[in-house]
Amino acid sequence: MAVPLVEITLAGAIINASVHFVPVGGAPAAMATSTGIGTGTTQLAAGAGFTGLMAAAIMAAQKGIVLSNPIHLAIILLSGAVGSMIMLALTMLLGQLIYVFGVGVVPAADKCEKDPITGDYQKSYITPGTTGHAIPTVCFISGLIGAALGGIGGGLAYIALKQLGFASEVAGIIAVGFFFMNAVLASYNIGGTIEGFHDPKFKKMPNGIIASFIASLLTGVIVVGMSIGI
């Protein structure tokens, strides 16, 4: 009982942290007038998180996988992380193609002078009146880290629910609800848009993690209570 409770609490905190890494641009980014992917946090987190959840669930359903074996757990979590990363990487890549070749803007980050990874100057490429364009390297890498964490968090929640003895369908739908709850708490903490780990808003992350920690602990207690009869 205690191990799944700890796992589900940690999973909530990890999901919350993951959302802070994803470069969410919101509506301005959809018009290529802001850095990031052009949709809301909830949709992005849901897209990447669900793919991770499914990848983890498929791995957990493979023959010979035992949930009590730590190495097998690590494989399930990695599977979730990779599934989630592929999903978000494709989203960012295709978005980038549309931004660069369709809209015709240069990828540029607004929140840093120089790209911390490539060292390229950013400010001179930003159109006046906008806050950056598309998905520069630093945002892409940040997004990949976020997706990996999201997949791990989703997978961990699913594993915890399976360890409590729920059927796969029940565990899956509770994990979906749990994922949305934590992703939206993170998105309220961000306040709409974020560029990645170089954004000043990233420093607000502890608040979000504390909120998710408490909410997940409460959910964990309810879920453990539900599992007593199984």
CB of 29 to another protein, least distance (A): 12
SS (HEC) of 76-136:
HHHHHHHHHHHHHHHHHHHHHHHHHHHHCCCCECCCCCECCCCCCECHHHCCCCCECECCC
Is residue 200 involved in binding another protein (CB under 8 A)? no
How far is residue 3 from each of residues 18, 56, 74, 164, measured CA to CA in Å?
22, 19, 15, 9
Is residue 1 involved in binding another protein (CB under 8 A)? no
Helix (H, G, I), strand (E, B) or coil at 143: helix
Is residue 203 involved in binding another protein (CB under 8 A)? no
- Residue 67 or 173 having the CB closest to another protein: 173
- Residue 84 or 182 having the CB closest to another protein: 182
Separation between Cα atoms, residue 215 and residue 222, nearest integer Å: 11
- Residue 65 or 181 having the CB closest to another protein: 181
Kindly state the helix (H) or strand (E) to which residue 149 belongs, with its residue range: helix 137-163
Cβ atoms of 36 and 130 closer than 8 Å: no
Is residue 179 involved in binding another protein (CB under 8 A)? yes
Is residue 218 involved in binding another protein (CB under 8 A)? yes
Question: What DSSP state is assigned to residue 165?
Answer: T
Is residue 192 involved in binding another protein (CB under 8 A)? yes
How far is residue 65 from each of residues 33, 57, 206, 220, measured CA to CA in Å?
47, 11, 35, 24
Is residue 86 involved in binding another protein (CB under 8 A)? no
Tell the residue number behind the tokens 């010979």, with chain if given.
64
Token output for 68: 């009590």
CB of 178 to another protein, least distance (A): 7
Is residue 185 involved in binding another protein (CB under 8 A)? yes
Residues 7-66 that bind another protein (CB under 8 A): 26-27, 40-43, 46
Is residue 6 involved in binding another protein (CB under 8 A)? no
Is residue 106 involved in binding another protein (CB under 8 A)? no
CB of 12 to another protein, least distance (A): 11
CB of 34 to another protein, least distance (A): 12
Number of residues binding to another protein, judged by CB under 8 A:
41
Q: Which residues bind another protein (CB under 8 A)?
A: 26-27, 40-43, 46, 167, 169-170, 173-174, 176-181, 184-185, 187-192, 207-208, 210-211, 214-215, 218-219, 222-223, 225-229
